[in-house]
Amino acid sequence: MSESLKDKRILLVDDDSEILTSMQAAFEPTGATVDTASNGNKAVELAERNQPDLIVLDMMLPGRSGFLVLEKVTAKKPRTAKPFVIMITGNQGGRHKMYARDPRRQRVLQQARQDGQADLDRRAPARRRAAPAAG
Per residue of the chain (135 residues), give pLDDT as tens: 567 888 999 999 999 999 999 999 999 999 999 999 999 999 999 999 999 999 999 988 999 988 889 989 988 888 778 898 988 887 776 665 666 566 555 554 455 555 555 555 555 555 444 445 555
In a domain, 85, yes or no: yes
Is residue 104 a contact partner of residue 79, using CB atoms and an 8 Å limit? no
Q: How far apart are CA 131 and CA 94, in angstroms?
A: 48
CA distance 57 to 132: 40
Q: What is the pLDDT of residue 128?
A: 45
Domain harbouring 74, CATH code: 3.40.50.2300
What is the tally of structural domains in the chain? 1
Nearest CA among 99, 95, 46, 96 for reference residue 73: 46
pLDDT of residue 45: 97
Distance CA 44, CA 62 (A): 12
99 belongs to a structural domain: no
Would you say residue 42 lies in a domain?
Answer: yes
CB 48 within 8 A of CB 40: no
| The pLDDT of residue 67 | 86
